[in-house]
Amino acid sequence: MPPTPITKGGMTNTVTTEPFTVDSKPRTRTTRIEGNIVRRKQVPPRDGSQRALCLRHAEGCDGYPAHTEGGHLIGLSIGGVDDDRNLVPMYADFNQVRWRAFERRIYDDASVEGVRVEVDYVGVDSPMPQVFEIFLKKDGMWVQWEQVLMNDAPTPIAPTINDAAKALIDSAQKAIDGGWTAEANVPGAGGRLDPSAPRHYALLDYLYFADTDNLMKLVLALGLTWKGWTPGLGMPFTELQRELIQAVNAYKHGGYVTSDQSGTITLAGSTTHAPHVDHIVGKTQHSGPNLFSNAMVITSTENWAKGGSHFGSGAAASASSTTTGM
């Protein structure tokens, strides 16, 4: 198909597409897009209704392949249009880390006047890109800049847990098995936790409130960096809390971070199977505390199903709310 200009939000790109089929059904996918560089510090919110062109058809949309999300071939911050012809399925980590790094390098290089991306797909009947060729325009001349292969399919998350860490986790679990609870030992915790919910990570509360020395040893044994946090109502879990929770989770599930809800093994770089550390008693609606006893690991899909924020990187939902101390 001939190149077609598309203009949205004051941005113009030129797009080339081609027909292909999925199960004998006609589809169209973007093979090339180019545009002048327009550096924008403030990018308007993207249109959440857009879906990659290769997924659209007369009856609706095929839906993104597993572990992928819509990635802009030309980033909105450098002049890309927010249009389905500028979107292709990308693995979450590829889109949010590697591709974003390319966009930042282009944004920071004042000599770049234009960008063109050419896309090769996995097969003649596939919506999945495999190779991206990036061309840059400098001094009016186009030059090939990078050729990028998207082959980093999501993999199971398996934190390294050495024998010292395992021994510390086992020791703390004995205290929980012996009857230690947050309600009885943490001021303000009573009535703030679901008494019927499993306490998969209560052993970390025990370490925090009753055995700080061994908590520090556990952080060190796991190769993590100590960053303190303040227990409170309506508070998000910190990065270190999430790392500790995932480590305990993996130890209890044969080495892999696994959903406490469904038993699904979570995947690094996945949009649908990323691990979310979620509050059992909701943080926003019910001021659930950021105690480990109130934590569970679920997949991103399971979190979205219950109304959680849609984060492709797998970070736990962390919408702000009024904070009340324990």
In the predicted structure, residue 312 carries a pLDDT above the cut 80: no
In the predicted structure, residue 322 carries a pLDDT above the cut 50: no
Q: Which of 114, 149, 184 is the last residue of a domain?
A: 149
Residue 97: what pLDDT? 85
**At 74, is the pLDDT very low, low, confident or very high (cuts 50, 70, 90)?**
very high
Based on the domain organization, do 213 and 142 belong to the same domain? Answer: no
State how many domains the chain has.
Answer: 2
Based on the domain organization, do 142 and 253 belong to the same domain? Answer: no
Show Cβ contacts of residue 131 under 8 Å, excluding neighbours closer than 6 positions: 119, 120, 147, 148, 149, 150
Q: Which of 105, 121, 149 is the last residue of a domain?
A: 149
In the predicted structure, residue 311 carries a pLDDT above the cut 90: no
Alpha carbon distances (Å) from 223 to 142, 157, 165, 166, 216? 46, 16, 10, 13, 11
Contact 296, 199 (CB under 8 A): no
**Mean of the per-residue pLDDT values of the chain:** 90
Based on the domain organization, do 139 and 267 belong to the same domain? Answer: no
- Host H or E run for residue 173: helix 163-177
Residue 321: what pLDDT? 33
Based on the domain organization, do 203 and 318 belong to the same domain? Answer: yes
Based on the domain organization, do 96 and 175 belong to the same domain? Answer: no
In the predicted structure, residue 132 carries a pLDDT above the cut 50: yes
Based on the domain organization, do 167 and 271 belong to the same domain? Answer: yes
Based on the domain organization, do 228 and 187 belong to the same domain? Answer: yes
Q: What pLDDT digit, counting tens, does each position of 248-285 carry?
A: 999 999 999 999 999 999 988 787 888 999 999 999 88
Based on the domain organization, do 116 and 167 belong to the same domain? Answer: no
Contact 4, 15 (CB under 8 A): yes
In the predicted structure, residue 37 carries a pLDDT above the cut 90: yes
Residue 309: what pLDDT? 47
In the predicted structure, residue 326 carries a pLDDT above the cut 80: no
Nearest CA-CA partner of 65 in 307, 221, 270, 305: 270
Show Cβ contacts of residue 61 under 8 Å, excluding neighbours closer than 6 positions: 51, 55
**At 205, is the pLDDT very low, low, confident or very high (cuts 50, 70, 90)?**
very high
Q: What pLDDT digit, counting tens, does each position of 141-185 carry?
A: 999 999 999 877 788 999 999 999 999 999 999 999 999 999 999
Q: What pLDDT digit, counting tens, does each position of 212-257 carry?
A: 999 999 999 999 999 999 999 999 999 999 999 999 999 999 999 9
Residue 268: what pLDDT? 85
How many helices (H) does the chain have, and how many strands (E)? Answer: 9, 16
Average pLDDT for residues 70-91, to the nearest whole number? 96
For 240, the domain range is: 156-325
Based on the domain organization, do 9 and 97 belong to the same domain? Answer: yes
Report which DSSP code applies to 258: B
Helix, strand or coil, per DSSP, at residue 117: strand
Residue 96: what pLDDT? 87
Residue 304: what pLDDT? 83
Based on the domain organization, do 125 and 169 belong to the same domain? Answer: no
Q: Which of 149, 166, 186 is the last residue of a domain?
A: 149
